[in-house]
């Protein structure tokens, strides 16, 4: 495995810890080797030492990848297999040097000519690196040896740039060699949506417009822009989250059953449902927001415009809500409302499915004033699980109803080791299973669906930024988006997490 961007943040925080977990799970063969490539001048030893320091910082930490202690044997196993190449991505010499090193490893370590190139680098270098690899003959597959390239997000910044990037990399690679990552697909709960729908007789019969009133997909964060002002200023919440992560949730929820779990069968169904998204009327169906100063989880925080590397009159959105319609037989007339934003009240990523209301007829003349809606909640994070909300009769002589819940929590059934979410993704690249990766058509369909919003927002500056207080529910206009349809968002703090 070759990691471009070996000295970068992503390598240290996610890729290498994920490899370490794969060692612990005994998923890596003895012949496995890692070559790091970066511009910084470092010895093999210095590169390893920097990574070791990072690993130690996870011990006793609080993040998702907090570990009690580092397993010394596993870490040693991994670091023993690491070497470093200093090089500039623009310099052909880098690739020749790399080639020579890899050929040597084939002989000394038995790596058998199979290569996984991981581009943990800024997106403007994706095509540079692929071009360099291509020109040096490093991605040519022959004699049964595979060559694969993993590409991080962002994949383009709109439809045209995504198409151009695809065209550029496809000059050197075939589609089956490209693994475009969307880390949401590494989340067990996202993968579980398929199991929920297709491994049970209970849900799929009601999974359509006959039974479902609407769907709400929420990815609310309690972090702000952090130290990523430079990146975020030109990206914004829509590009950062919607055509990729939020659409993964949408596709998993709304896709037709594939004919098998074969990568292309699954990805074809996902592309199809995203392609069926009707172009939204952005003036009517999309709302943007930017956070003002406020209090998040008890801590006072600055407005977005005061963040480092952010313009004091920035028009970049940190929140988006939109209403989408999927123009196919299953979903005609069922709106999908999406929202995502930074510095909101509560961290919650979930898909809430609202079932049609039962008729009131029978309850007329009873003490029941209104019917309670049925909801099915797919909790992606935190408190991973699935909840079902329905009405029950309250004990007592008269007919009164309360909403009650059936709840499945992952932690009650399955014990999982701390993980970064990259383990499955990395392992799948190594075994050549592309199911959890984005094909070119998936990526382009995502951009095409949001392009009308990008176009309008790009040409018309917002008039009311900042328009929501950090630590709140988002802008009031987002509530109006649903109120117009006589619906309302589920409050962010409604779903109970343990
Ligand atoms: C990243 C975005 O892709 O996903 C971030 O660039 C965002 O802005 C993150 O915070 C959310 O991922 P997760 O796994 O923390 O929900």
pLDDT tens for each residue of 413-430: 998 777 888 999 999 999
Which residues have any ligand 1 atom within 6 Å of their CB? 153, 221, 240, 349
Please state the pTM of the whole predicted model.
0.94
Residue pLDDT, tens place only, 110-140: 999 999 999 999 999 999 999 999 999 999 9
Q: How many residues does the chain have?
A: 498
Q: Which residues are catalytic?
A: 245
Lowest mean pLDDT among 157-166, 236-245, 358-367: 358-367
- Please check the confidence at residue 498 and state whether its pLDDT lies above 60: no
Mean pLDDT taken over the chain: 94
Neighbouring CB atoms inside 10 A of 331's CB total 22
pLDDT of 67 reads 73
Smallest CA separation from ligand 1 atom 8, residue: 240
Mutating to test ligand 1, I would choose from 220, 221, 351 the residue with most ligand atoms within 8 A of its C-beta, which is 221
Nearest alpha carbon, ligand 1 atom 4: 241
Tell me the CA–centroid distance for residue 394 and ligand 1, in Å.
42
Q: Which tens digits make up the pLDDT trace of 191-213?
A: 999 999 999 999 999 999 999 99
Angle 437-442-445 (CA atoms, 0-180°, nearest 5)? 160
| Farthest CA pair distance, the chain | 84
pLDDT at position 62:
66
- pLDDT above 90 for 304: yes
pLDDT tens-place string over residues 311-361: 999 999 999 999 999 999 999 999 999 999 999 999 999 999 999 999 888
pLDDT for 59 equals 78
pLDDT of residue 494: 77
Overall average pLDDT of the 53-64 stretch: 78
Ligand 1, residue 228: give the atom nearest the CA: 8
Distances (CA, A) of 342 to 318, 448, 472: 6, 24, 10
Q: What is the pLDDT of residue 64?
A: 61
Instruction: State the pLDDT at residue 364.
Output: 87
Mean pLDDT along residues 222-229? 94
Confidence check: pLDDT of 227 > 60: yes
What pLDDT is attached to residue 10?
A: 92
Give the pLDDT confidence score for residue 65 in this predicted structure: 66
The pLDDT of residue 495: 63
Average pLDDT estimate for 57-76: 79
Q: What is the pLDDT of residue 366?
A: 86
Q: What is the pLDDT of residue 378?
A: 95
Q: What percent of the chain has pLDDT over 90?
A: 86
CB of 157 closer than 8 Å to CB of 234: yes
Across residues 103-109, what is the average pLDDT?
Answer: 94
Out of 245, 316, 348, give the residue to mutate to test ligand 1, the one with the largest number of ligand atoms within 8 Å of its CB.
245
Residue 469 binned pLDDT confidence (cut-offs 50, 70, 90): very high
**Token pair of 322 as six digits:** 């939109």
* Contact (Cβ atoms closer than 8 angstroms) between residue 329 and residue 474: no
Q: What is the mean pLDDT of residues 458-476?
A: 96
């Amino acid at each position: 495995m070759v990691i471009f961007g070996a000295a970068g943040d992503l390598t240290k925080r996610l890729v290498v810890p994920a490899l370490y977990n794969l060692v612990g799970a005994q998923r890596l063969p003895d012949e496995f080797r890692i070559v790091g490539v970066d511009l910084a001048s470092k010895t093999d030893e210095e590169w390893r030492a920097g990574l070791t320091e990072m690993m130690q910082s996870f011990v006793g930490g609080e993040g998702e990848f907090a570990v009690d202690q580092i397993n010394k044997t596993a870490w040693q196993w991994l670091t023993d297999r690491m070497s470093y190449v200093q090089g500039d991505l623009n310099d052909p010499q880098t690739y020749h040097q790399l080639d020579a090193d890899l050929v040597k490893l084939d002989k000394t370590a038995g790596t058998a000519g199979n290569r996984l190139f991981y581009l943990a680098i800024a997106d403007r270098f994706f095509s540079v690196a692929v071009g360099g690899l291509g020109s040096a003959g490093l991605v040519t597959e022959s004699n049964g040896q595979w060559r694969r390239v993993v590409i991080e997000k962002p994949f383009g910044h709109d439809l045209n740039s995504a198409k151009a990037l695809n065209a550029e990399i496809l000059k050197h690679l075939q589609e089956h060699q490209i693994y475009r990552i969307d880390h949401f697909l590494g989340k067990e709960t996202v993968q579980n949506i398929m199991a929920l729908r297709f491994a049970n007789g209970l849900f799929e019969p009601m999974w359509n417009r006959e039974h479902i009133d609407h769907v709400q997909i929420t990815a609310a964060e309690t972090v702000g822009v952090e130290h990523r002002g430079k990146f975020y200023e030109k990206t914004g919440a829509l590009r950062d989250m919607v055509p990729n992560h939020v659409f993964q949730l949408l596709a998993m929820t709304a896709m037709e059953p594939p004919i098998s779990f074969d990568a292309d069968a699954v990805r074809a169904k996902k592309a199809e449902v995203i392609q069926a998204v009707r172009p939204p009327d952005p003036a009517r169906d999309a709302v943007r927001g930017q956070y003002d100063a406020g209090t998040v989880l008890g801590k006072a925080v600055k407005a977005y415009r005061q963040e480092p590397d952010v313009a004091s009159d920035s028009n970049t959105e940190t929140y988006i809500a939109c209403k989408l319609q999927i123009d196919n037989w299953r979903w005609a007339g069922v709106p999908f409302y999406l929202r995502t934003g930074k510095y909101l009240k509560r961290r919650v990523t979930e898909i809430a499915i609202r079932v049609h209301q039962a008729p009131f007829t029978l309850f007329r003349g009873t003490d029941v004033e209104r019917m309670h809606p049925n909801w099915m909640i797919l909790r992606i994070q935190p408190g991973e699980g699935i909840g079902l909300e329905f009405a029950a009769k309250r004990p007592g002589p008269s007919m009164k109803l309360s909403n009650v819940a059936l709840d499945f929590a992952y932690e009650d059934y399955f014990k999982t080791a701390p993980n970064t979410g990259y383990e499955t993704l990395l392992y799948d690249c190594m075994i050549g299973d592309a199911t959890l990766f984005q094909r070119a058509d998936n990526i382009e369909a995502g951009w095409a669906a949001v392009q009308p919003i990008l176009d309008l927002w790009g040409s018309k500056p917002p008039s009311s930024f900042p328009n929501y207080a950090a630590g709140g529910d988002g802008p009031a206009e987002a509530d109006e988006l649903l109120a117009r349809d006589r619906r309302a968002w589920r409050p962010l703090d409604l779903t109970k997490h343990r």
